[in-house]
C-alpha cells in the first residue's frame, strides 16, 4: 500500500480513458501495468433527425464524471489526492464525422459509426480508390455531405473523430494515432501516413466544387504508437478535472480507436497474430505480413497502432439469437417451477453443443437479428430449418446455433485464408461468446482452424489498452517496438487457456458451412416474404 501511495504521489501512474458506445471508462494503472482504480459513466446515443449522435455536453459530462469517480476511488483506497499522472491516453469509437470551423464550432451534429447514411459516397469512393471504403468511415461521411450539398462544407477548418476531438481540446494538438486515422482515410503503411495517391484522387474529384480547402488541410496529423502527442494544457486540465486538483503539463499519447486498443489489450499487434471479439456482434482483426492482393468489399483495411496493415472482418450478428433461445429455455424451466441460475443455464446449454454431431446433425440456423453485409442481407430474419431426416436433438440444436453465430464471419475469413492465403499462428478471443470455459474457444478454433487463446486479462478492455499505449510512450527503451514492450513488460508470465482446433470439429464446421451457404436463399426468401410492420 505504501509503495502504491508513493507511485501515485510521484506521478508514476498512467491514465487511460475510452469512450465506448454505452460507457465511458477511466483506468489508472501502476508501474506493473495493473489497474489501481477505475471510474465509469453510462451514456447512450440519441437518434435525432435521422442521425445517431451524442451531444458535446454529454462528452464532457461523461468524461468529468468518469474521472471524478476514478479520483475518488484513488482517495478512498490509497488516501492520496490525484494531482499528477505520468501520461494520459484517450480512445473512442472509431470513424464517424466531427467537422469544425476556424473558431472551433461544431458545424453539424456528431455523426457516429452507427449511421448508414453514406451508401452513395462509400460506393463511389470504393470504385475511385479501388480500396474498400465502409459507410462508417469519416471520408465517406465527408463526401456524402458534399454530395448532399450541405452548406457547412465550405466552412470546414478541420475534421476529426471523437477521440481526436477530446485530445485536441485537452492539448491543442490536432492529431490521431495511426490506427484511428486508418478509419478516417486509407493509410499507406510504407509511409505511415494517409495514402497520397488517394488524397490526390479525392482533391481531383472535388475540383468542380471550388472549395476553399484541400483534403490534407482539414485532416488531423498521423502519429504512431510511442510518439509524443502534446501536453495537457491548463484549460485541458480543468476540462478533465473541474476541481482544479489535476496539474497541467502531463504528456499525452496519440489518441487511438477502439480497434487499436483492443489489439493492444489482447497483445495482438505483431504480424501473424489476431484477435476476435465475439458478443452482440463479432469481428476478427488479423495483422498482415503484406497488403492484400486486391479489393474485397467484405474486408475492411485498417492498421495497428504502429501502422502495420490489418484486415478486419466484421459481422453484425453473433450471440443475440443464441441468447434469445437460452431465454426461451429459461422461460421453460420457470414454467416447470425449477430455479436455474441464468449463467448456469448458459453453461449447460453451451456445453451440450459440444456433445452434438460434428456437423450439427443436418440442422441449419441463421442468427440474423439485423442485416448482414457479409451475405448481402439488408435486414434480419432469425431462422431455424431442418429436414425430416436431420437429427433434432438438444446437443445438435445448440451446436448449430453456436456454429451459426460465426457463420457470416467465416465467409469473410475464408476470403483471407483461402483466396489471399493469409497465415496466422494464434487468435486471442474476448467477449461474451467465450464466457463459458472451452465452448466458445472450441467452436472458434473449428471455424478458423487455428489455436484460440483466452487470457486472464481479456475482460480489461479498451481503457486499459489505451493506458498501455500511454505507458509505452512514457517508458519504452530506445528503438523498443510496441510488440516487444507488450510481450516482455506487460504480458510476460500472463497465463491464458489455449485450445487447438480439433480435426473432427473443423471438418464438421466445413460441412455445416456448405449447408449454410446453400440455405442463404431461404434467408433471402424470409426477408422478402416477411416485411417488418
Last residue of a domain, one of 219, 254, 289: 254
Q: Is residue 135 part of a domain?
A: yes
Taking Cα atoms as reference points, which of 83, 85, 74 lies closest to residue 1? Answer: 74
Q: Say what the pLDDT of residue 533 is.
A: 63
Question: Do residues 111 and 238 share a domain?
Answer: yes
Q: Lowest mean pLDDT: which of 67-71, 176-180, 266-270, 455-459?
A: 455-459
| Helix, strand, coil % over all residues of the chain, rounded to 5 | 40, 20, 40
Question: Do residues 277 and 129 share a domain?
Answer: no
441 burial type by CB count under 10 A (0-12 exposed, 13-18 middle, 19+ buried): buried
Selected residue with higher pLDDT from 436 and 325? 325
Q: Say what the pLDDT of residue 329 is.
A: 96
Question: Do residues 116 and 148 share a domain?
Answer: yes
Question: Do residues 408 and 331 share a domain?
Answer: yes
Q: Is residue 171 part of a domain?
A: yes
Question: Do residues 52 and 13 share a domain?
Answer: yes
Q: Is residue 472 part of a domain?
A: no
Last residue of a domain, one of 205, 229, 254: 254
pLDDT mean over 510-533: 93
Q: What is the rounded average pLDDT for all residues in the chain?
A: 94
Last residue of a domain, one of 254, 275, 291: 254
pLDDT band at 431 (very low <50, low <70, confident <90, very high): confident
Question: Do residues 243 and 273 share a domain?
Answer: no
Percent of the residues in the chain that have a pLDDT greater than 70, as a whole number: 99
**Which span out of 114-118, 415-419, 431-435 was modeled with the highest average pLDDT?**
415-419
pLDDT tens per residue across span 329-347: 999 999 999 999 989 999 9
Q: Say what the pLDDT of residue 470 is.
A: 98
What string of DSSP letters covers 18-85?
EE-SSEEEEEEE-TTS-EEEEEEEE---EEETTEEE--HHHHHHHHHHHHHHHHHHHHHHHS------
pTM for the model stands at 0.86
Question: Do residues 517 and 406 share a domain?
Answer: yes
pLDDT tens per residue across span 210-239: 999 999 999 999 999 999 999 999 999 999
Q: Is residue 491 part of a domain?
A: no
What does the alpha-carbon distance between residue 286 and residue 5 come to, in Å, rounded to a whole number?
40
pLDDT band at 459 (very low <50, low <70, confident <90, very high): low
pLDDT band at 526 (very low <50, low <70, confident <90, very high): very high
Question: Do residues 239 and 187 share a domain?
Answer: yes
Contact 36, 3 (CB under 8 A): no
Give the range of the structural domain holding residue 176, as residue numbers without chain letter. 2-254
Would you say the C-alpha torsion 407, 411, 417, 418 has a positive or negative sign? positive
Q: How far is CA 332 from CA 263, 322, 339, 347, 348, in A?
A: 40, 16, 10, 16, 14
Q: Is residue 260 part of a domain?
A: no
What string of DSSP letters covers 336-355?
TT----HHHHHHHHHHHHHT
Q: Say what the pLDDT of residue 334 is.
A: 95
Q: Is residue 485 part of a domain?
A: no
Total tally of structural domains belonging to the chain? 2
pLDDT tens per residue across span 278-288: 888 888 999 99
Taking Cα atoms as reference points, which of 430, 468, 471, 442 lies closest to residue 279? Answer: 430
> Grid coordinates standing for 88?
494520459
pLDDT mean over 184-205: 96
Question: Do residues 250 and 271 share a domain?
Answer: no
**Which span out of 80-94, 263-277, 484-498 was modeled with the highest average pLDDT?**
80-94
Reply yes or no on whether the pLDDT at 444 is more than 70.
yes
Percent of the residues in the chain that have a pLDDT greater than 90, as a whole number: 82
Question: Do residues 161 and 53 share a domain?
Answer: yes
Reply yes or no on whether the pLDDT at 133 is more than 80.
yes
pLDDT mean over 456-479: 89
Question: Do residues 149 and 23 share a domain?
Answer: yes
Q: Is residue 470 part of a domain?
A: no
Would you say the C-alpha torsion 168, 174, 178, 180 has a positive or negative sign? positive
Taking Cα atoms as reference points, which of 494, 503, 401, 505 lies closest to residue 456? Answer: 494
Reply yes or no on whether the pLDDT at 162 is more than 80.
yes
Q: Say what the pLDDT of residue 131 is.
A: 94
Q: Lowest mean pLDDT: which of 188-202, 299-313, 394-408, 455-469?
A: 455-469
What does the alpha-carbon distance between residue 365 and residue 368 come to, in Å, rounded to a whole number?
9
Taking Cα atoms as reference points, which of 88, 10, 393, 80 lies closest to residue 256? Answer: 88
Q: Is residue 533 part of a domain?
A: no
**Which span out of 300-304, 432-436, 468-472 was modeled with the highest average pLDDT?**
468-472
Question: Do residues 376 and 398 share a domain?
Answer: yes
Contact 354, 445 (CB under 8 A): no
Contact 222, 307 (CB under 8 A): no
Taking only Cα atoms into account, the Rg of the chain, rounded to an integer number of angstroms, comes to 24
CATH number at residue 353: 3.30.420.40
Reply yes or no on whether the pLDDT at 532 is more than 80.
no
Amino acid at each position: 500500500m505504501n509503495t502504491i501511495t508513493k507511485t501515485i504521489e510521484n506521478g508514476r501512474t498512467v491514465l487511460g480513458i475510452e469512450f465506448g458506445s454505452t460507457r465511458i471508462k477511466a483506468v489508472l494503472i501502476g508501474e506493473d501495468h495493473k489497474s489501481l482504480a477505475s471510474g465509469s459513466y453510462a451514456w447512450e446515443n440519441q437518434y435525432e433527425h435521422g442521425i445517431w449522435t451524442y451531444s458535446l455536453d454529454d462528452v464532457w459530462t461523461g468524461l468529468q464524471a468518469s474521472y471524478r469517480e476514478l479520483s475518488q476511488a484513488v482517495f478512498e483506497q490509497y488516501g492520496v489526492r490525484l494531482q499528477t499522472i505520468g501520461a494520459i491516453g484517450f480512445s473512442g469509437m472509431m470513424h464517424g464525422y466531427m467537422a469544425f470551423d476556424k473558431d472551433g464550432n461544431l458545424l453539424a451534429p456528431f455523426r457516429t459509426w452507427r449511421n448508414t447514411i453514406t451508401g452513395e459516397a462509400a460506393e463511389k469512393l470504393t470504385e475511385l480508390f479501388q480500396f474498400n471504403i465502409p459507410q462508417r468511415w469519416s471520408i465517406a461521411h465527408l463526401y456524402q455531405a458534399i454530395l448532399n450539398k450541405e452548406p457547412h462544407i465550405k466552412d470546414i477548418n478541420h475534421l476529426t473523430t471523437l477521440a481526436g476531438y477530446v485530445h485536441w481540446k485537452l492539448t491543442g494538438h490536432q492529431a490521431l494515432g495511426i490506427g484511428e486515422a486508418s478509419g478516417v482515410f486509407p493509410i499507406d503503411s510504407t509511409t505511415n501516413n494517409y495514402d497520397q495517391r488517394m488524397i490526390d484522387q479525392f482533391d481531383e474529384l472535388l475540383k468542380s466544387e471550388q472549395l476553399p480547402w484541400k483534403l490534407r488541410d482539414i485532416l488531423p496529423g498521423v502519429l504512431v504508437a510511442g510518439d509524443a502527442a502534446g501536453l495537457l494544457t491548463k484549460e485541458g486540465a480543468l476540462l478533465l478535472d473541474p476541481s482544479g486538483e489535476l496539474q497541467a503539463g502531463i504528456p499525452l499519447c496519440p489518441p487511438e480507436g477502439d480497434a487499436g486498443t483492443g489489439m493492444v489489450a489482447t497483445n495482438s499487434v505483431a504480424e501473424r497474430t489476431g484477435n476476435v471479439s465475439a458478443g452482440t456482434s463479432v469481428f476478427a482483426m488479423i495483422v498482415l505480413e503484406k497488403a492484400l492482393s486486391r479489393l474485397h468489399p467484405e474486408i475492411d483495411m485498417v492498421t495497428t497502432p504502429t501502422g502495420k496493415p490489418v484486415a478486419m472482418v466484421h459481422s453484425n450478428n453473433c450471440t443475440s439469437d443464441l441468447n434469445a433461445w437460452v431465454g426461451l429455455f429459461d422461460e421453460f424451466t420457470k414454467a416447470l417451477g425449477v430455479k436455474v441460475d441464468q449463467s448456469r443455464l448458459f453453461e449447460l446449454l453451451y456445453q451440450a453443443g459440444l456433445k452434438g454431431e460434428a456437423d450439427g446433425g443436418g440442422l441449419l440456423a441463421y442468427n440474423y437479428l439485423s442485416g448482414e453485409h457479409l451475405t448481402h442481407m439488408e435486414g434480419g430474419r432469425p431462422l431455424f430449418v431442418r429436414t425430416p431426416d436431420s437429427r433434432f436433438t438438444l446437443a445438435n440444436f445448440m451446436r448449430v446455433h453456436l456454429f451459426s453465430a460465426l457463420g457470416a464471419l467465416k465467409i469473410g475469413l475464408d476470403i483471407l485464408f483461402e483466396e489471399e492465403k493469409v497465415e496466422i499462428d494464434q487468435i486471442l478471443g474476448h467477449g461474451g461468446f467465450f464466457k463459458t470455459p472451452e465452448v466458445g474457444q472450441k467452436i472458434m478454433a473449428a471455424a478458423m482452424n487455428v489455436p484460440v487463446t483466452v487470457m486472464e486479462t481479456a475482460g480489461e478492455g479498451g481503457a486499459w489498452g489505451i493506458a498501455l499505449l500511454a505507458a509505452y510512450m512514457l517508458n519504452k527503451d530506445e528503438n523498443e517496438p510496441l510488440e516487444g514492450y507488450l510481450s516482455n513488460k506487460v504480458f510476460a508470465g500472463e497465463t491464458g487457456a489455449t485450445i487447438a482446433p480439433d480435426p473432427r470439429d473443423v471438418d464438421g464446421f466445413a460441412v455445416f458451412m456448405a449447408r449454410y451457404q446453400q440455405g442463404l436463399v431461404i434467408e433471402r426468401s424470409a426477408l422478402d416474404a416477411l416485411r417488418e410492420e
